[in-house]
Amino acid sequence: MSERDYVRRLMVKLKKIKKSWWYKIPDPARCPKCGTIGLVNKRPFDIIGVVNGRGVAIEVKSDKGKVLSDHQVANLYLVEGAGGVSFVTTPSAQTHLLTALRNL
């Protein structure tokens, strides 16, 4: 499954979590008019959200061994430093992610 397809399917499941809000950050390569939240040709992570009043950042990777870039790692640490939680997920780890989010 491609990363793009996984994000679409994940968003459907995330929106079913009670007391939550989710937004998929547009990919600047696919949507140049969408902006990049102040970053040049980079987005900080794939999905932002709130669960029970807690800020959440999610970076999605395919199961094909892709690694986080330095700016993705830095942004995920910044979210946690501000009191939010961050996750890196793959299709094979989806159940663990959804369980963790429901328990926030």
The pLDDT of 45-54, averaged and rounded, is 94
CATH class, 3-102 region: alpha beta
CA–CA separation, 32 and 40 (whole Å): 11
The whole-angstrom separation of Cα 101 and Cα 91 is 15
Query: What span, in angstroms and rounded, lies between the C-alpha atoms of 36 and 33?
Result: 9
Sequence spans of domains, the chain? 3-102
| Distance linking the first and last C-alpha atoms of the chain | 28
pLDDT tens-digit series, residues 51-66: 999 999 999 998 777 7
Q: What is the pLDDT, as a whole number, of residue 7?
A: 92
pTM, rounded to two decimals: 0.85
